[in-house]
Structure 1
C-alpha cells in the first residue's frame, strides 16, 4: 500500500486530488496539509511514500519542503501548480511528475502510472531485487508472418485508434495494443511519451524548438517532425539532459 499525503493551500484542489485517489485500491491518503511548514513537520514526523504537493504555499513553497528533507527521507513527489517555471528545480529534486492546474483526468491517470512504476522500482531496489523488466522487442503480425522487432530499432510510436504503429526506418508495423498501455511497458530511460498520440525514443531526438503556446516541435534524426504537448515538455527536457550526460556531446539539439 502506498501511503500518500496531499499538500495544497486551496481546499478545492485538495479535495479534487483526494476524490481521484479514492478510486485507487493501492493508495491510502494518510494526511492533508494546507501550508508548507505543517507539511514539513508532518512528513518529518510520520513520513509518507508519496506526496501531491502544491508549489506556491504560505510559509514554505513545495520545492522548499522537499529540499528541507534529506534525500533518503523524501517521498515520491508530484507537483501541482498553475505555472511551469519551476520545472527545472522540480526535476533536480527527483520529482516523479509535474501537473499543471487545472488537472485533466487522463493526465492524472498517466501520473499515477508513473508513480506506480517509480514505487515498484524503489521497493525492488530496497529489497535488492532486479529492476523492472521492460519490452525489448515487439511481436507484430505482418501479412501471414509474425515479425519480431527490437525496441532499439524503433524511432517513434503513434496511436492508431485502439492500436499503436511502430515506426522503424521506412517501415510501419501495427501493434495490437493501445498507446496508453504500451507506454507503461517501455523503459523510461529509452522511450518517453511526448503527446497523447506519440512516444519517441529519446536518442532519436535531434532537435527541440519551443513554440509560442508552450508546446515544442521535435525533429528526429530521420527528419520526422513531431509535436510535444506542453504537459510533457518539462519531463522530456529533463530526460534529454540526463541522457546527454551519458552520451558523447556531438548531438545536435537546440531550444529557442
Structure 2
C-alpha cells in the first residue's frame, strides 16, 4: 500500500485535531507529518520540506491560504486540498479549476471520496494553471465563466466551456465531447459536471446525457422525442425534460 505524507494548516487547532482523527479512520494511507496553527510556521516548514499533500484553510489571521501559496513561488511541489467554510463563488472557482476542497465541518465520506480520487491521479501537484484559473474566477465572482479545468487521470485539460458539445455518463466518470473533435474522460460523475455547467446553460436531457443547447442540430418529435447534436449523436429525452428542451428550441428563429 502506497503511503503519502500530509500537513494540516488551520488556525483553529481543534480543526487540525479532528481532521487528523478522520484521516486515521477513513484513509490511513495519508500520514500526517506536521500540523500548524499559524501560516508563518507552515511557510517556513514548506520551504525546507516536501509533503505530498497540504490540507489548507483559507481564512487565517495574518496570511490567508492563497497568500501562503503565493509566497512559495510559482512552482509548487505538492498538491492542496482546501478545507474551508468559504462562500459559493469560491466553491464554484474550485470546481471550475478542478482544485480539491472540503467544506467545514469535514464529512468523513466526502474526505474519503476526495482522497480516493486524488490517489488515483498520476499527477499529484497543484499546477500554476489551476491556480491562475482559480484566481481569475474569484475575480470574476458571479460573472460568466469561460474556461474550465477537466481533471483527467494523467493531469488536467483546460478548455473553453462553449467548445463543449455534450457530456456523457460513463459510470463514475464522464466523457466530454468538444466541437474540435477532442474527447476527454474525467473522474467526475455527470451529476457533479451538471452542477458546474448547469449555470452556463447546459441541460440534462437524459440521465446519461448533459448537452449544450447551442449545438442541437435537430429536434425529433416521434418515438418519445429526441435531439441530434452537431456531432450526429442522437439523444433521447427523459420524462420531464421534453418540455424544457422544446422551450429552449422554440427560442430559435423559425422560417
Could you tell me how far apart the structure 2 residues matched to 1:199 and 1:20 are? 24
Aligned residues: 165
Shift of 1:156: 3.8
Shift of 1:121: 2.8
Q: 1:74 to 1:59 in 2, by over 3 A?
A: farther
Task: Verify the 8 A CA contact 2:194 2:202 in the aligned structure 1.
Answer: no
Moved segments of 4+, more than 6 Å:
185-188, 221-226
| Aligned match of 2:44 | 41
Shift of 1:14: 0.7
Could you tell me how far apart the structure 2 residues matched to 1:96 and 1:89 are? 8
Alignment counterpart, residue 7 of structure 2, candidates 5, 10, 14: 5
Could you tell me how far apart the structure 2 residues matched to 1:224 and 1:47 are? 41
Task: Verify the 8 A CA contact 1:36 1:61 in the aligned structure 2.
Answer: yes
Q: Which runs of 5+ in 1 are unaligned?
A: 124-130, 134-153, 158-165, 167-178, 211-216, 227-251
Could you tell me how far apart the structure 2 residues matched to 1:95 and 1:82 are? 18
| Aligned match of 1:106 | 109
> Residues 69-114 of structure 1, C-alpha deviation per residue, up to 9 Å, x if partnerless?
133334200001111343466579x774111112222211121023
SS state of the match for residue 190, structure 1? strand
Could you tell me how far apart the structure 2 residues matched to 1:44 and 1:91 are? 28
Shift of 1:32: 0.3
User: Which structure would you say has the larger Rg?
Assistant: 2
Do structure 1's residue 190 and structure 2's residue 180 form an aligned pair? no
Shift of 1:132: 5.0
Shift of 1:200: 5.2
Shift of 1:26: 2.3
Could you tell me how far apart the structure 2 residues matched to 1:4 and 1:220 are? 38
> Residues 178-198 of structure 1, C-alpha deviation per residue, up to 9 Å, x if partnerless?
x5xx44x98995335357xx4
| Aligned match of 1:68 | 71
SS state of the match for residue 71, structure 1? coil
Q: 1:30 to 1:60 in 2, by over 3 A?
A: same
Shift of 1:115: 2.0
The 10-residue stretch of structure 1 (103-112 or 185-194) with the greater mean CA deviation from structure 2: 185-194
Task: Verify the 8 A CA contact 1:52 1:78 in the aligned structure 2.
Answer: yes
> Residues 201-221 of structure 1, C-alpha deviation per residue, up to 9 Å, x if partnerless?
99xx9x6238xxxxxx85147
SS state of the match for residue 65, structure 1? helix
Could you tell me how far apart the structure 2 residues matched to 1:200 and 1:89 are? 14
| Matching of residues 1-256 of structure 1 within 5 Å | 1-23=3-25, 24-84=27-87, 85-87=89-91, 96-118=99-121, 120-122=122-124, 155-157=167-169, 182-183=172-173, 189-191=184-186, 193=188, 198=191, 208-209=198-199, 218-220=202-204
Q: CA RMSD in A?
A: 4.2
Task: Verify the 8 A CA contact 1:54 1:80 in the aligned structure 2.
Answer: yes
| Aligned match of 1:127 | none
Task: Verify the 8 A CA contact 2:168 2:175 in the aligned structure 1.
Answer: no
SS state of the match for residue 19, structure 2? helix
Q: Which runs of 5+ in 2 are unaligned?
A: 126-151, 155-165, 177-182, 211-247, 249-255
